[in-house]
Amino acid sequence: MVDKGENDTTQERILNAAKKVFLLKGMAGARMQDIADEAGINKAMLHYYFRTKEKLFEVIFEEALAQLFPKIFGIIDSDVPLFEKIEHFCREYIDMMLKNMYLPLFVLNEVNKQPDYFRERFWKNKDGLFIKFMGEVAAETKKGTIRQVSPADLFINMLSMCIFPFIAKPLWLMSSGMDELQFRHFMEQRKTEIPKFIIESIKK
């Protein structure tokens, strides 16, 4: 009989192994044997915890999305002033990426492959968030706080400036000569540099 402590430890090893394998090979390319090998267990033990690859992937994918989106949705939906919202968004997003560097590439790859699954499970009733953001941008433009700017352009600038360094990290480390520690320091600085750059670019 497997005791609860051993059960929890084995499941954690499986989930950590699955993250690595799914990140490397995606849902379609990953095999249960790959995950079992990575976790250091036999395939029968893996199936004891997760009957199918699809069930295991669902756990990993939902965990990744749960880490990434609720906080971001919360910031976009908050009632703080626009400039403060931009600062919060950039700081929180980069913080999240520094703690989970596998997230952006993994999530983007799988959302592109399974847009209907993502829309059904995680995007229901979220369209109103961008409508609210558009209204806030329009209100600041009307007050004369910012110049005329497309809300879509503004949001994509915020998102892409935060996420691109993590997606392009291997290429950036190779071309810049940075090591892991220097990259982390660089991104810590960008938590303030990105919102400052964006706010200055839209200020009237």
In this structure, how many other beta carbons lie within 10 angstroms of the beta carbon of residue 161? 18
Residue predicted with more confidence, 1 or 53: 53
Residues sharing a CB contact under 8 Å with residue 40, sequence separation 6 or more, in sequence order: 13, 17
C-alpha 134: how far from chain center: 22
Contact status, residue 104 vs residue 167, Cβ threshold 8 Å = yes
Cα 155 from Cα 190, distance rounded (Å): 17
User: What is the pLDDT, as a whole number, of residue 107?
Assistant: 76
Place of tokens 């002033």: 81
**Domains of the chain and any CATH numbers:** 1-51 (1.10.10.60), 61-202 (1.10.357.10)
Cα 190 from Cα 170, distance rounded (Å): 18
pLDDT exceeds 80 at position 66: no
Residues sharing a CB contact under 8 Å with residue 112, sequence separation 6 or more, in sequence order: none
pTM of the shown model: 0.74
Contact status, residue 155 vs residue 131, Cβ threshold 8 Å = no
Q: Give residue-wise pLDDT tens across range 152-198.
A: 999 999 989 998 998 888 899 999 999 999 999 999 999 999 999 99
Two tokens, residue 172: 């950036």
User: What is the pLDDT, as a whole number, of residue 2?
Assistant: 45
Exposure pattern of 184-196 as b/e (b: 16+ CB <10 Å)? Answer: eeebeebbeebbe
For the chain, the 3-state helix, strand and coil shares in percent, each to the nearest 5, are 80, 0, 15
Two tokens, residue 143: 């007050």
User: What is the pLDDT, as a whole number, of residue 29?
Assistant: 86
Q: Which of 92, 80, 104, 78 is nearest to 160 (CA)?
A: 104
